[in-house]
Amino acid sequence: MNYKSKTLLLAGISVALILLFLFFDIRGNVEYILTRRSIKIAAIVLTGASIAFSTVVFQTITQNRILTPSILGLDSLYMLINTFIIFVFGSITLTTMDRNIQFIMIVGIMVLFSGVLYKILFKREDQNIYLLLLVGIVLGTFFGSFTSFMEVLIDPNEFQTVQDKMFASFNNINTDVLLLATILIILVSLYFMRFLKYLDVLALGRDNAINLGVDYDKVVKSLLVVVAILISISTALVGPITFLGLLVANLSYEFLKTYKHTYLILGAIFISIIALVGGQFIVEKVFTFSTTLSVIINFVGGLYFIYLLLKENKSW
Amino acid sequence: MVDIKRVTKRYGSKAVVSDVTVQIEKGKITSFIGPNGAGKSTLLSMISRLIIKDEGEILIEGNDIAKGKGRELAKKISILKQSNNISLRLTVRELVSFGRFPYSQGKLTKEDWKHVDEAIEYMGLEDIQHQYLDQLSGGQRQRAHIAMVIAQDTDYILLDEPLNNLDMKHSVQIMKILRRLADELGKTIIIVIHDINFASVYSDYIVALKDGRVVREGTTNEIINREVLKEIYDMDIAIQNFQNCRFCFYFH
């Protein structure tokens, strides 16, 4: 089986799982249930696709298969913003705030943060991308510590709300926010399309890419902006879930065994839809909401990583 | 012709290449020689725009490389660096086909595949063209990378220590191919090379660098002599003529 038919197979499984999720055990008010489930599915597809897509792009730029965009510190920033609001204004403010405004504010702060970070670090023309990662780690850790500091001080009841935000959840998606996120993601994807052809070449490394006529600095900068926007949107929508990206990107490389990024990205997107829809199905039907999707994803993902390490596969 | 005018590159306050002015003739093999840290690779990287120069101008056929468009330059000049760690799982043929990217932007036409086939044939890689790069020996991999550069079909080809880690047989093989590229296809080839005897036997023109400056430049016969080499390497090197080639004995 070649990578094209494998991608088709993944697409088929995704569609099958989505249909199963939509129509499984459908009783009572069909219209209401279908609407509820479609919103969930839409959110899952949207976030799954953004995370998968941005992780593959990020790993190609950094030429590293174990990095995720979370190294840019965006997840920690998300937690910091939420904790800060609760710390200063109380959890009531956060829960009663207009969802649209909250979403736009959080996405805005995250994108602004990335913008400032890039601006400062890419001031010099021949800047090294690893400096960006290093600064990202340092800031991420700083945000994390600051968040813990505030968490220790707040009321235990308030902390419950903070804890809620720590795990990605598809159970309370607001339709308006979802629509807004969809439009934003489509716009960003359209902007990205012109850079798609460069990804295969970027994977050969900076020197080869420049040799083959790619305007490396400009392309990498634009791609990093795309990654930051997508991660911000999906995190603001459901919560921190970037570990999923690491998992699905690597599964896609292992399964498709090609270097063509069009297929690697599609593969990662389908795998992430399969993992999320399948995981959500298990959470709802098997565990009856006694656990969250993040826990399952992190558990399975962790196991897979241990397996990858033990296998000592050198051919990656 | 490549025209390098008063080019300087500094890291911090240390000038790695300072005020270098050299002209490189078309259709010839030019070797950059000199001791470690002389700035040879840096100069080569600046010509190929991998490193941005601090001062000076580099013109390729009268056009400033700093102002040219990346894609157009990639059809004029290509570079192969000494370390090529590609983490992708690629076959030889797939790697070579990347050489056509400046022309096709990833969508290869029949014409592009013809160039790929020719490059593979030129490097004698037909038998292993469907093997993965990580299954090949160092010499085969180096040949595959050179095939990619040939498929790129540029008038100027820059190679940074192309003989690194190769045994004698493969070294000779690669130098002969470079000679053919210059003689048969009229390519201009610039190499950084450590083995002075290979430089002596195969190149037309030699530029000697030391401490970031050009100390000598000239035809091979002008450079390969006792006094000049002493100035470059601080070593007393005996020169012998053998079959119309000059050889340096620097072993003791």
ipTM reported for the complex, 2 dp = 0.86
> What does the pLDDT read at residue A126?
61
For chain B, the residue count is 252
Cross-chain Cβ contact B71/A200 below 8 Å: no
A200 close to B (CB below 8 A): yes
Q: Give the model's confidence band at A142: pLDDT under 50 very low, under 70 low, under 90 confident, else very high.
A: very high
A205 close to B (CB below 8 A): yes
Cβ burial, residue A312 (10 Å; 0-12/13-18/19+): exposed
| CA separation for the pair B95, B181 (Å, rounded) | 20
Residue pointed to by tokens 């397996």? A307
Q: What is the mean pLDDT of residues B114-127?
A: 87
Nearest-CA neighbor of B20 among B189, B210, B228, B223?
A: B210
Among A63, A65, A259, whose Cβ lies nearest the Cβ of B90?
Answer: A259
A316 close to B (CB below 8 A): yes
Cross-chain Cβ contact B74/A212 below 8 Å: yes
Taking contacts as CB-CB distances below 8 angstroms, the residues of chain B near A203 are 87-88
pLDDT in tens, B192-215: 998 888 888 899 999 988 888 888
> What does the pLDDT read at residue A187?
92
Among A63, A207, A258, whose Cβ lies nearest the Cβ of B87?
Answer: A63
pLDDT in tens, A156-190: 888 887 777 777 777 777 777 888 889 989 999 99
pLDDT in tens, A254-278: 888 888 888 999 999 999 999 888 8
Q: Which residue of A has its CA nearest to B104?
A: A197
Cross-chain Cβ contact B102/A213 below 8 Å: yes
Out of A130-144, B43-57, B77-91, B151-165, pick the least confident. B77-91
Is the model more confident about B87 or about A8?
Answer: A8
Nearest-CA neighbor of B85 among A106, A272, A64?
A: A64
Binding-site residues on chain B for chain A (CB distance < 8 A): 48-52, 70-75, 78-81, 84-90, 94, 98-99, 101-102, 105-107, 134, 152
For residue B107 the two structure tokens come to 């969508």
A4 close to B (CB below 8 A): no
Averaged pLDDT score across all residues of chain A: 84
Among A200, A207, A215, whose Cβ lies nearest the Cβ of B106?
Answer: A200
Burial A245-256 (b: 16+ CB within 10 A, else e): bbbbbbbbbebb
pLDDT in tens, A181-215: 899 899 999 999 888 889 988 888 888 888 888 88
The nearest CA of chain B is from the CA of A55 a distance in Å of 16
A63 close to B (CB below 8 A): yes
A128 close to B (CB below 8 A): no
Q: Which residue of B has its CA nearest to A200?
A: B106
Phi and psi torsions of A189, nearest 5°: -65, -40
Burial A117-145 (b: 16+ CB within 10 A, else e): bbeebbeeeebebeebbeebeebbeebbe
Q: Which residue of B has its CA nearest to A205?
A: B86
Global pTM value: 0.86
